[in-house]
Structure 1
Amino acid sequence: MRKQSLSIAVVAMLFASCGKPGSQGQVVGDYNTNPSYRPPTPVGMVWVPAGYLRTGYSDQDVQNALDAEVRNVQVQGFYMDATEITNAEYRQFTNWVRDSIAHTQLQHFVDNEDGSQRIDWKQKINWKDADVQDQLMNLYIPAEQSGWGKKEFDNTKLVYNFSYFDYEESVKSTGKPRTDFVVKKSIGAYPDTSVWIKQFNYSNNEPIALQYNWSPTFNEYPVVGVTWFQASAFAHWRTQLWKADRENRKLYFEGNFALPSETQWEWAARGGRQLSPYPWGGPYVANQKGCYLANFKPGRGDYAADGGLYTTRADAYWANDYGLFNMSGNVAEWTSTTYTVSAYDRNFLSDMNPDINIKIKDSDPTWLRRKVVKGGSWRDPAPFLQIQNRDYEFADTAKAYIGFRNIYVRTAEAIGIAEPASGTRK
């Protein structure tokens, strides 16, 4: 009886001690965050609300591909870059890779509480110092081999090494340790600037090839010469960059930056105009004053008639109703979706956030490396700018007319149709 009484007393004390102050023994909820907290909008992004999309061809199938059957789908909300990723933004990525390699070789580390080490980003690297260059000599091309008669940084050494947890594969398997689903990647980060020459035979494109990626003149122009793998690596780096900053300041973080799926891209490009062929509506590619509304190949090939011989600024022309620039024209854009002819088959895909994203392996055949690109580019005629038009490129291929932009999903906002309370318009 004493033991039983003691047990009852202990249980009573435990219940009394764990009650929330002021709850009066009622279920009032356990909130692990401040209910008034509003996460910030990612810089350079605008809000694309959830909605109902009628996908597929609403006009002529210009390639007669028969690969976009009309169907109705639901799309979650997300943030999307207002413009294509620019040279300046991508250069931040390649400079980070360069500096991380240099810091590692120079042993610029600080100790963590658990005994591990991390890069000390507070230390500065004087790239002009002769001693520093000697310590980093493996990152340079010697003067006698550069072709210019002076030592030059070797951009092929800019390799981004990263790893991620494959959640999708982990839920398909049971009984395996979580470490079995950690995927490691090494991706060369620097754009292929030679695309301006290799893809245009008998054309004097050497000046733009030598300047496009680094010259301040092209800072706000869309980055090109990046493969699908490089675009995906950029999204991973961007996620880790923001996550590290928010965790360092003990702030909540959720979501990842990523390439949009084909459906997400199409929904965003339409800007709420269900059956319009172009982001601005249509059916014409010029306004009433005769001004072209995008950067493409007008008429029979007067490239400069729209204001741009090659690419133009990423924020040129008018944005669509969601605030997104150049969803058609300027550069075509990588998506996360694997290209298959049956991608729109209503018996094959879900009608809720549909997507086909086959993970590419080294042993995969060439046809499995096809990724959907959307929007058309500066070198395409007007029909290829239509939102519903589908095209593809191989994931390990870089072109002078393909760039990309990112999306960012926060689940609580994504499943609603209202704009987030924090506001996202710019």
Structure 2
Amino acid sequence: MRRLTSLSLIVGTGVMLSMSACSKNGGGLFGKKKESSSATGWNYNDPKMGGFSVAKSKDQFTGPGLVFVQGGTFAMGATEQDVMMDWNNIPRRITVSSFYIDENEVSNVNYREYLYWLTRMYGESFPDVYRNALPDSLVWRSELAYNEPLVEYYFRHPAYNDYPVVGVTWKQATDYAKWRSNRVNEKLLMDAGLLSQADIMNQADDNTFDSKSYLAGLYEGTPGKMSKNAKKQFSNPDGSPRGAQFEDGIMLPNYRLPTEAEWEYAALGYIGQNPNPSKKEGKRGEELIMNKQIYSWGTNNSGLRDIRRGNWQGQFLANFKRGSGDNMGMAGGLNDRASIPAPVQSYFPNTFGIYNMSGNVSEWVNDVYRPLTTIDGDDFNYFRGNKFQTVYQNAEKEFEKDSLGALKMRDVTDEESASRLNYQKGDVINYLDGDSLSLVEYGYGVTTLINDKSRVVKGGSWNDRAYWLSPGNRRFMQEDMATNTVGFRCAMDRVGSPEGNKFKTGQIFRKQRQKR
């Protein structure tokens, strides 16, 4: 009897797997198509077969304010003669993965929205959160200039709503990107019916929405009104509701500052030199990277606009300082129509559709500055500034939130990294920075102006000469400092096909028929 039972179990399992395989190919015995595993044959999203949840394959959609930048290889570094004698941007060929970047610089009204939310969330319990996020309007002051109107009005008057925010430190820009990630993902969950809009008015202190806290199950939100299909999708095998997981494809990757390599690649916009890239290969990119265009607008190196179709935006293709004492030209013939930063969508965008990658304001990027860093760094997704972290767990191995609702993180220790093949330290900001043999450490204001808080600044500004408008040029500033010439824009990782949502990854070939 026992033998018969075992045999029945084997046969039953075989029938069940056959049904699963049939269901993938043609509907199975019950005529209902279910997607199943190509490895085991078990159905996905089927409570009767374990309930393993698999979201339907989908492309990453473009987040608010972003444009898609198709990655590739390019020569990162100097285009013009190194007249500053810095020797800090030696050309080097690297590859950048596809990513997203803001269409324009973060504007005053964007940043004021951020401050408004901080006041609503933390104003009573943690007023310093709001105060620490305020841009420094005193960056407009000068000992020998009358700029007090800009101190008073530039950030808050509606006439400057669409002008780039300035007076923001690297740390403030990074915090803004984190806040923006949370607001975007929260709305996506509300649109999917997984969170209730009523939560917006109830958030405060440690119960504010944070993407990582939500995914860790620590955000105490009210479920929204899901559709019938959504309720089925977001149910556990026992029928109880569950929250969204990142694997569901609803939430987006985090907004962040772009890396230096990403920013420079996006600014050059080489995709415009490949004719009709979505329809045919055209020229091969390997030859194009040696064309070495000087500015972000392409082959027009003079920077003068073709005014045969109108000169409503002035003669220049960017907002910069033409020479000593000339920030905008003469009355009746303003050359760039701006004496200070211009609105964030002024002038023509480059071929990626990105505005003001040369001129207007310089921009923070994510990298820690080193003079010869590109020689030492990887040639794929080059970046200096890694300080690896992992999720903090208490003595009971539980995740925790901090007082502002964010998931607690901790630094990865050297002991945890010692036996790894790809890295042996948690903090690798100083890795191969040129002083490994001498054991000399950077000391800001003591041996050098460079230290681990020195961050790269890219692009020229409204108060810079044309030399700084070239995307390959680079400067640096301490991450806790600000000026009236530096703003920022955000970026986001791209997942899936590097060619965009119309394409699949890799070379796709038709399956060959085998001879019998």
Q: Same fold (TM over 0.5)?
A: yes
TM-score (normalised: structure 1): 0.72
Residue of structure 2 equivalent to 1:127: none
Asked if the contact 1:285–1:382 (Cα under 8 Å) also holds between the matched residues in 2, the reply is no
Deviation at 1:332, TM superposition (A): 0.2
1:4 & 1:268 partners in 2: Cα distance?
A: 68
Residue of structure 1 equivalent to 2:96: 75
CA offsets 1:161-204 (integer angstroms, 9 cap, x no match): xxxxxxxxxxxxxxxxxxxxxxxxxxx2111111111xx21211
Unaligned runs of 5+ in 1: 106-137, 140-155, 160-187
Residue of structure 1 equivalent to 2:473: 389
Could you tell me which of 14, 30, 33 is aligned with 2:55?
A: 33
SS in 2 for 1:72: strand
Change in Cα spacing, 1:101 to 1:309, as seen in structure 2 (3 Å) is same
Deviation at 1:14, TM superposition (A): 4.4
Q: How does 1:243-262 map to 2 (within 5 A)?
A: 243-248=185-190, 249=192, 250=194, 252-262=250-260
Deviation at 1:365, TM superposition (A): 4.8
2:481 & 2:154 partners in 1: Cα distance?
A: 19
Asked if the contact 2:367–2:455 (Cα under 8 Å) also holds between the matched residues in 1, the reply is yes
2:480 & 2:135 partners in 1: Cα distance?
A: 12
Question: Is residue 2:72 matched to residue 1:51?
Answer: yes
Unaligned runs of 5+ in 2: 29-35, 45-52, 195-248, 274-288, 308-313, 330-335, 388-426, 430-440, 445-450, 504-516
TM-score (normalised: structure 2): 0.60
Amino acid at match of 1:390: R
2:62 & 2:23 partners in 1: Cα distance?
A: 35
Amino acid at match of 1:298: R
CA offsets 1:347-385 (integer angstroms, 9 cap, x no match): x22111111114499x99531111111001111111011
Could you tell me which of 82, 93, 97 is aligned with 2:118?
A: 97
CA offsets 1:85-135 (integer angstroms, 9 cap, x no match): 001111111110011124x65xxxxxxxxxxxxxxxxxxxxxxxxxxxxxx
Could you tell me which of 354, 368, 390 is aligned with 1:324?
A: 354
Change in Cα spacing, 1:68 to 1:247, as seen in structure 2 (3 Å) is same
Question: Is residue 2:295 matched to residue 1:278?
Answer: yes
Deviation at 1:39, TM superposition (A): 4.1
Amino acid at match of 1:377: S
Greater RCO (CA < 8 Å, at least 6 residues apart): 1
Could you tell me which of 369, 372, 381 is aligned with 1:353?
A: 381
1:364 & 1:59 partners in 2: Cα distance?
A: 29
Question: Is residue 2:138 matched to residue 1:194?
Answer: yes
Aligned residues, how many? 335
Amino acid at match of 1:394: Q
| Greater share of residues in strand | 1
CA offsets 1:288-314 (integer angstroms, 9 cap, x no match): 558111111102230122221111111
Residue of structure 2 equivalent to 1:239: 181
Deviates more, 1:206-215 or 1:239-248: 239-248
1:337 & 1:374 partners in 2: Cα distance?
A: 11
Residue of structure 1 equivalent to 2:172: 230
Amino acid at match of 1:242: V
1:45 & 1:401 partners in 2: Cα distance?
A: 23
1:319 & 1:388 partners in 2: Cα distance?
A: 18
1:267 & 1:336 partners in 2: Cα distance?
A: 14
Residue of structure 1 equivalent to 2:340: 310
Amino acid at match of 1:406: C
